[in-house]
Amino acid sequence: MSSLQNRRVLVTGGTKGVGREVVARMHAEGARVLTTARSLSGELPPDVIFVSSDLTTAAGCATVAEAVHERLGGVDVIVHVAGGSSAPAGGFSVLDDVEWERALNFNLMPAVRLDRALAPGMVERGQGVIIHVTSIQGRLPLPASTTAYAAAKAALSNYSKSLSKEISPKGVRVLRVSPGWIETEAATAFVNELAAKAGHSYEEAKAGVMQALGGIPLGRPAQPREVADLIAFLAISEGLTGQEFIIDGGTIPVA
């Protein structure tokens, strides 16, 4: 295995949840880290470079790519964490073209645009790592309002595999990390909201969510730190490329 010491690392969506944990882990391993989000919420480790941008737009991605070249002089590791869903409730029929475009622009196109801007430099040097954070919903979609999100994550996974076939022979490893339910701040707030509406405790509401997911054999959701640990391991595991690594506590019966 190699080391992350002095590696130049870009982490998208790095100010909260999994992204913040990835930033902290990479920084702790000695990497030079640049991260981006729409706004800075909370504190980042010292020396981490923050760039404000809206990655759902081509202009926002261009701003980040330019900052990577100017502030880091290039990049060795890209971790695409940014993504999510804000679709309204009501099932597939309420997901109009705007919602579908929003899902694709949040979960697929930032990776496509940033890879297109930054991966050629990796190929030229003959080394680098790109990690796309997808979701088990790409394999096991939930019904209703997450339909567009699940489809976008499936597209991201397929894109990632295709990219790995093209540039891994040129020295650039491309991998996917597919989490199940992660107990982030947003997930905790969602469960607390469910608990309040139903008059249940947090643990009761959490158990209800796990049941809706079809059960998590491990008995709990993943923690952001655990996902970050996996990503850090993959970033230095030189014999791996093209694979999907699922971290879901056993939610998917057969991986």
DSSP state of 68: I
Helix axes 202-212, 185-198, angle to 10 degrees: 100
Give the separation between CA 86 and CA 106, rounded to whole angstroms: 10
| Euclidean distance between CA atoms 247 and 136, whole angstroms | 8
Element (H, E) at 23: helix 17-28
Phi, psi angles (nearest 5°) of residue 180: -90, -135
Distance CA 221, CA 188 (A): 11
Q: For the chain, what percentages of helix, strand and coil (3-state, to nearest 5) are there?
A: 50, 15, 35
Q: How, if at all, do strands 128-133 and 244-247 pair?
A: unpaired
Catalytically active residues are 149
CB atoms within 10 A of CB 63: 17
Residue 23 to residues 36, 68, 115: CA-CA distances in angstroms?
Answer: 10, 15, 19
- At residue 235, the 3 state secondary structure works out as helix
State how far the Cα of 131 lies from the Cα of 18, in Å rounded to an integer.
13
CA angle (226, 228, 234) in 5-degree steps: 110
